[in-house]
Structure 1
Amino acid sequence: LVMKMESPPTVLPTLLSNQSVKGCVPVDNTVENMLFGLYYIIIFLLALNGNSLALWIFSRQRGTSSPANVFLMHLAVADLSYVIILPLRATYHLTGGHWPFGEVPCRVAGFLFYVNMYASLYFLACVAGDRYLAVVHAVSSLKVRQARFAHIASFALWALVIVSMAPLLVTQQTAEVDGSTVCLQLYREKASRRALVSLAVAFTPPFLATLCCYLLIVNSLRKGSRLEPALKLRALRTIGLVMIIYVVCFLPYHVSRATFILGYGHPDLSCQTQRGLALANRLTSSLTCLNGALDPLVYLFGAEKFRGTVQRLLCRDKSGGSAATSGELKGTHESSLSAKSEF
C-alpha cells in the first residue's frame, strides 16, 4: 500500500513538456465537465444517505455483533470519509477544471480518495474471508469469528492505509497551469513505474483474496451445505454484488492507471491516443466513487440485522407505525437469525 509521492511540481512540467513536443495540450471539454460535475453530485447524495443510514443502524445494534457487521460498519465509515469531499470534486468540474479551494483541501481530497478506495478493497476482502469461514468452516472457526478480533483487524487496516497514504498530506499537490489552479490528485497523479508497483501491491492481494474466498464459497454451496435454499440464493447474490463492485468500480481504474503509466510518455504515442488515455483516467477515477453508492446494497444483502431494520422501517412507514406489524417482523427476523445466515 505504500505510495511514495514524487514532488508534483516536477511531475506536471514533465507531463506538459511531453505534450508540447507534439503540440498536444490537455482538453477540458465543457460538456464532459458538466456531466462529471452532475455525476459527483448524484453519487454524493446517494452515498451520503445510504451510508449514513447504515452507520446509524450498525451503531444502534444491541447484543454481540457479527464480524461481518463489524467490517461493514468500518466500510460505511470509509465511504463517508470520502463522500464528504465529493462536492469539492464536483465544483472542480463545474468551474471548468479549476481548483478554487487551495492547497490543503487538494491534499485532503487526494488522501481521502486513496484511503477510501483501499480501505474499501480490504474491508470487502475481510467480509469475504469471514463469509468463507462461516460457510466452509462453520464450527472450527467459531473461536476466531468474534467481533473483538474483527475490530482489531479493522483498526490495523486503518492504520496501514492511513500511514501508507500520509505522504499525500505533506507534499505539494497544486500547480498553476494557463492561469488556472490544478489539483494534481484529480486525474494528474504521478505516472512513474514506482507508482505502477504501488498500484499492483495495493490492489492485487485483496482482489485475489476476495475472488478465491468467493469461489470456494460457491463450490461449497454447489456441493451442498446446511443452508436453506433461500439463504443460498442470498449468499450468491451477495457474492455477485461484491464482485460487481470490484469489476465495475476498482478494476477499470487500476487497469487504466497501469496503461496510462506504461504508455502516456511513450515518444511514438499520438496526440489522440494521449487524450484517450487521459479521458479513460478520468472515467475510471470517477467509477471508484460509485462504490460508495453501491456498498449500501452489500449491507442490505450481507447484514441480517441491517436488512431486518430496513424492512421494519419500510413496513412502519407503509402501515402508519403499526406496532403489531413491526413486532411480527422482529420475531420473524430473530427466529431466522443464525451464524451462517448473515449474508
Structure 2
Amino acid sequence: MAVPNDSSAFNSTFAPYTGKSGEAASVCPDWPPVPMTTIIPSIYSVICILGVIANALAVCVLAHASASRRSVANTFMLNLCVSDLLFLLSLPLWAVYYSRGYSWPFGRVACKISGSLHNLNLYASIFFITCMSMDRYLALVHPLRSQSVRDLKRAKLMCVLVWVLALACTAPSMAVRDTHYVEMLDVEACVIIYPDHTWYRTLAWMKVLVGFLLPMIVISCCYCAIGRHFLTGSGLANLRKVSHSGSVCKSSVSQDSCSKSERPPTPSVNPSSSGGGPKEGRGLERVLWTVAAVVLAFFLCWFPFHCVTFIDILKSDEWLDGCWAHWTVQNLTPLTLCLGFANSAINPVLYCFIGNHFRGRLAALSKGFCVRLKAREEDHSQKRGSFSTRLSSFSRKLSDLKDLAIVDASAHA
C-alpha cells in the first residue's frame, strides 16, 4: 500500500507521511517550507466567503428566471454555479484541517465526502465550461442550423451526462481516500492512500488530460472559431441577417433567450444598428474581450496546478529529482490549488454579473424581496397596532365596568 508523495490535502498526498519531507528538509536546508497552516486557511476563508455569496446570488437569479428567459446557456450556468457552490461549502473543513496542522477532526465519512466534492467540482466545472463554449460556438457561428440542436431538453440531458461523467471520474479517488494516522505528525490526516504506484500515475494523468488539457483544447478551438468568424465580418453579417428575419434579439452575457432561437450568454451586440457603426463595433469588441477573459481565467486558474501535478508525475517516475522538485511539489501544490479554487468564485462574475440583463434581474429580485419584507413589516405593524387598539379598548371597557361597579356599590350602600 503506497502512501502519497506530494503535499496536497486534496490531490492526495502528503510527503510528511512517508518521511520524504524530513529527508528533503535535511538534504535541502536552503529550501525552507511555506507556512501552510497560516496561509492556506486565510486564502480558503476569503475564497469561500466571496464564492458562496457570488454563486448563491447567481443560483437564485437563474433558478427564479421566468420560462421565457430559460435557455441552454442559462441551464449550463446554473449547473456550473451549483457545482461551485457545493465545493465551496466544504472549504471551511479544509481550512480547519490546515490550521490544525493536517489533523482531520471530522471523521472518515466527512473526509471522503469533502475530498470527493473537490474532485467532482474539478471535473464538473471544466465540463460545464466546455459545454458552454460549444454552445456559444454553435449559436454564434451556426445560429440557424443549430436551432434544432440547441433546446432545453437536450441541454438538461447534457447536464445529467456531465454529472454522471464527473462522478465516474471522481469515484476512484473517493474509493482510496480515507483518514490515516501519521506517526511523524501525531495526527489523523485525510489523504488518498494509493494501492500501488499505477493507481497514482493513472489518477494523476486523468486529472491532467481529462480535467484540463482536452477541455482546454476544445474550449480554445471553439473560441478561436468564434473570433475568426467575427473578425472576418461574416459573424456580424450573419447576425444582421438573422435579426432581420426575426430570429435573433439583442443579448447580453446572461441573456440569450429570443422569440425563435436562443443565443449564448455573450455581451450586447446590436445587429440591427447601422452597419459598422460605433455601437456595433463596441458590441463586437465586448464579445471578443469576454471570450478572451473566459479562456484566460480558466487557463490562469488551473494551469499552474496541473503543471505542478505534471512535475510530481515526473518526480514519482524518477525523471526529475533535486531540491527544487521536492520543494515545488511540497509547497506549490496547495498554493496552486488555491488559485484553481478561486475559479469557482470567478465563474459567476464572468458568466453572469457582467451581463446587463443579469444585473437587472438581480436588482428586480432584490427589489421584490425588499417589497415583500416591507409589506410583511407593515402587516406586522398593522396587526400590532390593531392588537394595541383592541387592548386599549378592552382596558377602557374594563375601567368603565369597574366604575359602574363602584357606583352600584355606592348606591346599595
TM-score (norm 1): 0.80
Q: Residue 69 of structure 1 corresponds to which residue in structure 2?
A: 74
Higher mean C-alpha deviation, range 218-227 or range 296-305: 296-305
308 and 273 in structure 1: CA distance in 2 versus 1, 3 angstrom threshold = same
One-letter amino acid of the structure 1 residue matched with residue 180 of structure 2: A
Which residue of the other structure, out of 336, 339, 343, is the alignment partner of 1:287? 339
Contact 2:55 2:81 in 1 (8 A): yes
Give, in whole Å, the separation in 2 of the partners of 1:205 and 1:131: 18
Q: Tell me, which stretches of 5 or more residues in structure 2 are unaligned?
A: 6-12, 240-268, 271-279, 372-413
CA-CA distance at 1:84 after TM superposition: 0.9
- Equivalence map 1:77-156=2 (5 Å): 77-156=82-161
Q: Can you list the C-alpha shifts for 1:172-212, whole angstroms capped at 9, x where unaligned?
A: 422222201222159xxx88332343121332221111110
Distance across 1 between alignment mates of 2:47 and 2:173: 24
Is the 1:125–1:206 Cα contact (8 Å) retained in structure 2? Answer: yes
What is the CA-CA distance between 1:272 and the residue it aligns to?
4.9
Q: Secondary structure at the match of 1:61?
A: coil
Report the CA distance between 1:19 and its aligned residue. 4.9
CA contact (8 A) 2:41 2:96 kept: yes
Opposite residue 208 of structure 1, the aligned amino acid is I
In terms of mean alpha carbon deviation, does 211-220 or 226-235 score higher? 226-235
Report how many aligned residue pairs link the two structures.
309
Check if 1:193 corresponds to 2:201: yes
Query: Is 2:211 the counterpart of 1:202?
Result: yes
For residue 167 of structure 1, report the CA deviation from its aligned partner. 2.9
Q: Which amino acid aligns with 2:131?
A: C
Aligned to 2:189: 182
Decide whether aligned partners of structure 1 residues 238 and 307 sit closer, same or farther in structure 2, where only a CA change above 3 A counts.
Answer: farther
1:290-323 CA-partner distances (Å, limit 9, x unpaired)? 0111011123267664233135468x59xx98xx
- Partners of 1:54 and 1:299 within 8 A in 2: no
The 5 A counterparts of 1:235-274 are 235-264=287-316, 266=318, 269-274=321-326
1 CA distance for matches of 2:331 and 2:18? 16
Change (3 A) 1:40 1:12: closer
Matched-pair contact (CA < 8 Å) for 1:7–1:171:
no
1:307 matched residue in structure 2: 359
Question: Secondary structure, in 3 states, of the residue corresponding to 1:183?
Answer: strand
- The SS at the match of 1:184 is strand
- Determine which structure has greater relative contact order: mean sequence separation of CA pairs < 8 Å that are 6+ residues apart, divided by chain length: 1
The superposition leaves residues 60-88 of structure 1 with CA deviations (integer Å, 9 ceiling, x where unpaired) of 11124111111000001100110110001
Across the aligned residues of Structure 1 and Structure 2, the Cα RMSD in angstroms comes to 3.1
Task: Identify if the C-alpha distance between structure 1 residues 136 and 234 changes in structure 2 by more than 3 Å, giving closer, same or farther.
Answer: same
Aligned equivalent of 1:325? none
Aligned to 1:278: 330
SS in 2 for 1:290: helix
1:140–1:40: structure 2 CA closer, same or farther, 3 Å change rule?
Answer: same
**1:125: how far off?**
0.7
Match of 2:59 among 55, 61, 69: 55
Looking at structure 2, the residues matched to 255 and 107 of structure 1 have their Cα atoms a distance apart, in angstroms, of 25
Cα distance in 2 between the residues matched to 1:216 and 1:9: 41
1:167 aligns with 2:172: yes
For residue 214 of structure 1, the aligned residue among 223, 234, 255 is 223
Corresponding letter in the other structure for 1:184: V
Whole-Å Cα distance in 2 between the matches of residues 20 and 134 of structure 1?
Answer: 55
Q: Is the CA contact 1:71–1:154 (under 8 Å) kept in the aligned structure 2? A: yes
Alpha-carbon distance in 1 for matches of 2:112, 2:148: 42
Distance 1:15 1:94, change over 3 A: closer
More deviation in 303-312 or 272-281?
Answer: 303-312
Give the corresponding residue for 2:18.
16
Report the secondary structure of 1:143's partner residue: coil
Secondary structure at the aligned position of 1:140 is classed as coil
Indicate conservation of the 8 Å contact 2:34/2:331, yes or no: no
Between the aligned partners of 1:197 and 1:283, the Cα distance in structure 2 is 20
SS in structure 2 at match of 1:192:
helix
User: For the residues of structure 2 that align with 1:13 and 1:285, how far apart are their CA atoms?
Assistant: 16
Q: CA deviation at 1:27?
A: 7.7
**1:211 counterpart letter in structure 2:** S
Letter in 2 for 1:59: A
In 2, Cα distance between equivalents of 1:208 and 1:77: 25
The alignment-based identity, stated in percent, is 27
**Matches of 1:19 and 1:41, distance apart in 2:** 27
Q: Give the direction of change, closer, same or farther, for the CA distance of 1:29–1:12 in structure 2 (3 Å limit).
A: closer
Hey, what does 1:223 align to over in structure 2? 232
Answer yes or no: is the 8 Å Cα contact 1:28–1:96 preserved in 2: no
Q: C-alpha distance in 1, partners of 2:34/2:307?
A: 24
**Which is greater in Rg?**
2
Cα distance in structure 1, aligned partners of 2:289 and 2:206: 32
| Counterpart residue identity of residue 67, structure 1 | V
**Do 2:179 and 2:191's aligned partners in 1 also have CA atoms closer than 8 Å?**
yes
Tell me the amino acid that sits aligned with residue 96 of structure 1: G
Contact 2:45 2:92 in 1 (8 A): yes
- Paired residue for 1:34? 38
